[in-house]
Structures are given as C-alpha cells and as structure tokens.
Amino acid sequence: MGYGGVKWTLGESYMPEIVAGYRYASVTSSGATQGADVSIAFKVTGKAQLSDLIYLGKLRAKYLNGIDYLQGEVGGGWDFAKKGVFAGISAQGPYANTGVDYDFANKSTFGKSLSPYVEFNSIGIYNTPDKNQTITTSCPTSYEFINGICIPALGAPSDRRLKRDIHHLATLKNGMKIYAFKYLTSDKAYVGVMAQDLLQNASWKKAVIQQTNGFYSVNYAMLGLKMTTFAEWKSNGLASIELEKHLVRLTPLPTESQKNLTRFECGYIDEIIM
C-alpha cells in the first residue's frame, strides 16, 4: 500500500520533511506481520524561491517484522542531502514511526553521526485474515472444495426433492439403486443414491440424516460408497462410487470362465442402464 507522512529529525530544521512510500506486509490470522518498505523524503526549506523550497532527502529501504499493530524495522539507503550511505533501525506503530539513523557520510564523532527522528504517517493497524474464512466455490450444498475438486461432506444432500434429471444407472447385488442426477441449483451431473430408497431398508436407513429443513442427507461412508460425477462414472464405472474398503469386501474372486470378462460381468451389479 502507498502511504504519506511528515518527519522531524533531531538537530535539523523545524520544518518537517515530507515522506512518500510504499509498504508491503503479509499478515497471518494470528497477527504475525512481515514485509518490506521503500520511501523517499523531501526536505522543505521554507525559502521563498521555488528552486530552493524543496529538495531530496533520504531514499530508504526497510525490512519489517512484528505483529499487526507494531513492527520492528531495519534498513538503510542513500542520503541525497549529505551524499552518503546511511543505515537505521526503527519501530512502526499505528500512524507513528520513530527510529535512529547512522550516517556514514558524517566524518565527525560517533554521536554526531546518529540522527534520531520521529515520523507521523498514514500506516495504521493491519487487518488480520478471518480464522474461519472459507473458500466459496460452485460446489453443491454440503460439499467441500479440496485440492481443486468438490468432495461430499459427511452428510451429502441426497433427497429426491432436491434433484432433477434423475436416471437409474445400476442396481447393486444388495438391491441398492444407483442414479445419475443434477441438483436443482446446478447443471453438473452426479452419481449417487436417493435417500427415499434407503429409508425402505432397515440397514440402509441408518445412513439417512434428516436435516432441520426437512430434507434428507446421506452418510455415504456408512454405505461403503462415495458420491461421484457422471463423467467419472462413465470412465470408471462402479469403481468411481465405491470406497476402497467396500471394493475389497465386494470384489469376488473370478473363476476361470470369468477372467476375461469385464468387472460389470463379474457380478458387481445385476443391471446397468446407460
């Protein structure tokens, strides 16, 4: 961010220097702050002639580290007025900065080479990111955006009333029906189950969750399944919806006559409707 300020240096003119700069700071949710600062100071003489009214002072670069409301700084630069290099340390608080420079161009005693100063500027307290900030995506309700893809949360919305373009794709050996569908608020096609079907089975209905709004969600993990997209289903079939542990439990050992058959022909499902 750009900023401006006025600065007074001990032992110099009562007229303030004008400071203009740019400050970059990275702030974490805990308030830890670090970054860099570059600025230029203009000395004001107060003389009537425009050519003598203002001239360049110190060009300064600093590294900063601290917390959102107070940062320590170390840096240096070039003094155009004294035509020499300087180094300094300082501290920046809300709208105020104070520090001391060591002027290498000054050949006199050590004490006279030190230039304490105070500055008032437009740098306030940094805003910290919200610890509970979430990433908004186009994923359906109750989905999480992880590693660039939409992953179903524990209770994925599976109420038939929330879906459209419903097509029956397959029936598992245990009788569970698998559907392709779209949510009312999305044009992306998914593959999964219908909560209303599961409620008809004493074991499956344990995976059905009734939300406070009256609609049903399903804990796919309890069924040994996961929700997937229709594109993944077309590519990998049943493997796209089964959890790995479920595959181990359901995969039959092929007989000699089955070794050359596809996975669908080996008894994973009774019916495929494409």
pLDDT surpassing 50 at residue 156: yes
pLDDT at 4: 94
The tokens of 112 are what?
């006279």
> Greater confidence, 136 or 73?
73
pLDDT at 45: 77
Task: Name the residue type at position 32.
Answer: A
Backbone dihedral angles phi then psi of residue 8, each to the nearest 5 degrees: -120, 135
Instruction: With beta carbons less than 8 A apart as the criterion, state whether 32 and 45 touch.
Output: no
Split at pLDDT 50, 70, 90, the class of 96 is very high
pLDDT (mean) for 155-178: 86
Q: In what order do the strands lie in the sheet with 156-157?
A: 156-157, 216-218, 208-210
Q: Which of 120, 115, 183 is nearest to 150 (CA)?
A: 183
Split at pLDDT 50, 70, 90, the class of 150 is low
pLDDT surpassing 90 at residue 88: yes
pLDDT (mean) for 41-54: 71
| 131 three-class SS | coil
DSSP string, 219-256: -GGGGTB--EEHHHHHHHGGGGTB-HHHHHHHPPPPPG
Distance CA(92)–CA(237), nearest Å, equals 61
pLDDT at 225: 83
The tokens of 210 are what?
């009734």
- Give ∠ CA 254-179-196 in degrees, rounded to 5: 115
Split at pLDDT 50, 70, 90, the class of 18 is very high
- 233-274 pLDDT, tens per residue? 888 888 888 775 443 333 333 444 433 433 333 333 333 333
- Compute the Cα dihedral for 159, 165, 168, 170 and give only its sign: negative
pTM of the model: 0.46
Mean pLDDT of all residues in the chain?
78
- 179-216 pLDDT, tens per residue? 999 988 888 888 889 999 999 998 898 888 888 888 88
Q: Which DSSP helix (H) or strand (E) runs through 103?
A: strand 96-103
- Compute the Cα dihedral for 202, 208, 209, 213 and give only its sign: negative
pLDDT surpassing 50 at residue 134: no
27 to 22, 34, 132, 142, 151: CA distances (angstroms): 16, 7, 15, 30, 29
Q: Where are the domains of the chain?
A: 2-121, 143-272
The tokens of 39 are what?
């600025």
> Greater confidence, 223 or 134?
223
pLDDT surpassing 80 at residue 40: yes
